[in-house]
Amino acid sequence: MEPIIKFDKVTKRYGDLTVLDRLDLDVAPNEKVSIIGPSGSGKTTVLRLLMTLEKIDGGVIHVDNEPMTHMPSPGGTLVAANEAYLRRVRGKIGMVFQHFNLFPHMTALGNCAEAPIRVLGLSKDEATGRAAELLEMVGLADKINHYPSQLSGGQQQRVAIARSLAMRPKIMLFDEVTSALDPEVIGEVLEVIRSLATEHNLTMLMVTHQIGFAREFSDRICFFSDGRIAEQGAPCEILDNPRNERTQQFLRAVLHAT
């Protein structure tokens, strides 16, 4: 099957610092991929490039067989993408952030209905109805009129997930979505992601430090180190028999710390 995400020799630099170094990465439709690795290895950057929050410095990213950040010109060659093209490609992707980034001036329902109304052009009634359904799905039926400041961290993160889903993306990106949460509420967020993974046809890309969850959730784990994939494979392969030395060292440090 054609990959739905395809990184082709993608390079990303910040000034002198090369954060991604000719990265190749394919993700198949409906595949669940976890990205693990030390701090600064470029994990977040991969997600941010897909979400077009950053520009790439080299290579091409294809999403759903369309190049993003470059678009085909009438002559067939690739030219830099304009805003309209970017917005079309971007519509296929949803992202959940480490710090939720909910809109503090809107209720949970407002957070989930605003983009469908403004961007997808849904009627207010339809958007609100769907938003309420999604909030129920993430277990927040009784909190739809609460503002983010009135919700716990776990609840906020679940609203953020519902908000992304309301845009009906094909691909969902999760960036350390539990690392800003109290330990006791981490479980409720992972539960929602777990049920998403089994019940929907979504391609999922997840940066995480929850090794246990990554093992259970993913079809594949990629270990990042210095802007490249140092090692990848099925969870049991990577976690139980890492061949790469850096992977071994990382897993030792992380598992030791609990």
Partner 1 sequence: MTFEWDYLMEVLPLIAQASLVTIEATLGGFALAAVLGLLLAVLRSLRFAPVRVAVSVFIEAVRSTPLLIQLFALYYILPGIGIIIPAMACGILALGVHYSCYCAEVYRAGLDNVPRGQWEAATSLNFTTYDTFTRIVLPQAVPPVVPALGNYLITMFKETPILLTISIIEMMSRALIIGKDTFRYTEPVTVVGVLFLLFSLTSAWGVRRFGAWLTGRWG
Ligand X SMILES: Nc1ncnc2c1ncn2[C@@H]1O[C@H](COP(=O)(O)OP(=O)(O)OP(=O)(O)O)[C@@H](O)[C@H]1O
Q: Can you tell me whether residue 146 is helix, strand or coil? A: coil
Nearer to partner 1, 116 or 227 (CB): 116
The reply to whether 44 sits near a copy of itself by the rule CB under 8 A is: no
Q: In the range 22-41, which residues lie near a copy of itself by CB under 8 A?
A: 38-39
Q: How far apart are CA 254 and CA 95, in angstroms?
A: 25
209 is a site residue for a copy of itself (CB under 8 A) = yes
Q: SS3 for 87?
A: helix
- Joined together, the tokens standing for residue 162 give 């519902």
Among the residue ranges 18-26, 44-52, 88-96, 232-240, the one whose residues contact Mg ion (CB under 5 A): 44-52
Shortest Cβ 137–a copy of itself spacing (Å): 20
Residue 194 is which amino acid?
R
CB of 55 to ligand X, least distance (A): 11
Q: Based on the shown chain and the rule CB under 6 A, indicate whether residue 40 belongs to the binding site for ligand X.
A: yes
Give phi and psi for 116, each to the nearest 5: -55, -35
- Alpha helices in the chain, H assignment, sequence order: 43-50, 83-90, 108-118, 124-137, 153-165, 183-199, 211-217, 235-240, 245-256
Binding positions for Mg ion, rule: CB under 5 A? 44
Residues that bind partner 1 (CB under 8 A): 51-53, 87, 90-91, 93-95, 97, 99, 101-106, 114-115, 118-119, 147, 149, 163-164, 167
